[in-house]
């Protein structure tokens, strides 16, 4: 009797288990069918084609190359501008602080001497170089109009001061100073300095005129 009843019990148990599984699956199907689309679990992943990946990587590499070239160009401009401006700044400081032959001469016509003139020139030029270098380094394509206006006003003030201060120095050197008592190196530097500055200002004026004529 035991051997006959055991299979029957097993069969009954299997039927109960299968019916329970069917009931559970039917409940799950009903629940998931009622769930909104946003709560369903995705069964597939979106696969990006290889050619699209290559385009994305090419775009990022291109942007990196443009950024690196822009930084390199900025560093070149800063280096060239600093190299051109440094000799005047260094020599102005050097002769103003070390020369005792003629830069300390006082004049009745004007309340400054050549020593003060050279120190002021060196300090102003140093500040201008630093501001220009920072503006070049921080410059971006989509810059604010207020920043552009500030730089334009600053550039105009620098040009006005440079021309005015150059006139003062030329008048002082060729009209008031007794250059015969100056040391040879001091006289040579001051002469070369004022001639170079006059030529630079003249070329700048001519270039500005040509730009205005081109715009017209």
Is residue 53 included in any domain, yes or no?
no
Taking the C-alpha atoms of residue 102 and residue 114, their distance in angstroms, rounded to an integer, is 8
Is residue 170 included in any domain, yes or no?
yes
Q: Residue 89 CB: number of other CB atoms within 10 A?
A: 18
Show the domain range for 179.
66-203
Intra-chain end-to-end CA distance of the chain, in Å? 119
Is residue 97 included in any domain, yes or no?
yes
Is residue 99 included in any domain, yes or no?
yes
Handedness of CA 179, 182, 185, 190 (dihedral sign): negative
Per-residue confidence band for 49, with pLDDT thresholds at 50, 70 and 90: low
For residue range 185-213, what is the model confidence (pLDDT) as tens digits?
999 999 999 999 999 999 988 888 777 77
Buried b (16+ CB within 10 A) or exposed e, 33-68: eeeeeeeeeeeeeeeeeeeeeeeeeeeeeeeeeeee
Is residue 208 included in any domain, yes or no?
no
Contact (Cβ atoms closer than 8 angstroms) between residue 125 and residue 85: yes
Confidence at residue 47, expressed as pLDDT on a 0 to 100 scale: 56
**Into how many domains does the chain fold?**
1
Confidence at residue 19, expressed as pLDDT on a 0 to 100 scale: 46
Is residue 25 included in any domain, yes or no?
no
Per-residue confidence band for 62, with pLDDT thresholds at 50, 70 and 90: low
pTM: 0.67
Percent of the chain with pLDDT over 90: 42
Position with higher pLDDT, 57 vs 13: 57
Confidence at residue 155, expressed as pLDDT on a 0 to 100 scale: 86
For residue range 125-177, what is the model confidence (pLDDT) as tens digits?
999 999 888 888 777 655 667 777 888 898 899 989 999 999 999 999 999 99
Is residue 4 included in any domain, yes or no?
no
Is residue 46 included in any domain, yes or no?
no
25: pLDDT strictly greater than 70? no
Contacts of 81 (CB under 8 A, 6+ apart): 129, 132, 133, 136
């Amino acid at each position: 009797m035991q051997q006959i009843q055991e299979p029957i019990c097993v069969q009954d148990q299997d039927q109960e288990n299968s019916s329970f599984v069917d009931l559970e699956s039917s409940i799950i199907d009903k629940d998931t069918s009622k769930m909104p689309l946003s709560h369903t679990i995705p069964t597939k992943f979106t696969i990006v084609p290889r050619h699209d990946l290559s385009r994305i990587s090419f775009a990022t590499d291109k942007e990196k190359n443009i950024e690196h070239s822009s930084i390199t160009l900025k560093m070149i401009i800063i280096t060239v501008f600093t190299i051109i401006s440094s000799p005047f700044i260094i020599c102005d400081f050097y002769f103003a602080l070390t020369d005792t032959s003629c830069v300390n001469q006082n004049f009745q016509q004007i309340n400054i001497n050549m020593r003060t003139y050279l120190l002021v020139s060196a300090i102003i030029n140093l500040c201008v170089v630093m501001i220009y270098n920072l503006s070049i380094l921080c410059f971006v394509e989509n810059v604010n109009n207020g920043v552009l206006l500030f730089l334009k006003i600053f550039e105009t003030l620098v040009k006005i001061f440079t021309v005015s201060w150059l006139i003062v120095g030329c008048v002082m050197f060729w009209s008031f100073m007794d250059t015969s008592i100056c040391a040879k190196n001091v006289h040579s530097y001051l002469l070369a300095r004022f001639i170079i500055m006059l030529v630079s200002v003249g070329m700048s004026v001519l270039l500005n005129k040509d730009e205005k004529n081109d715009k017209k």
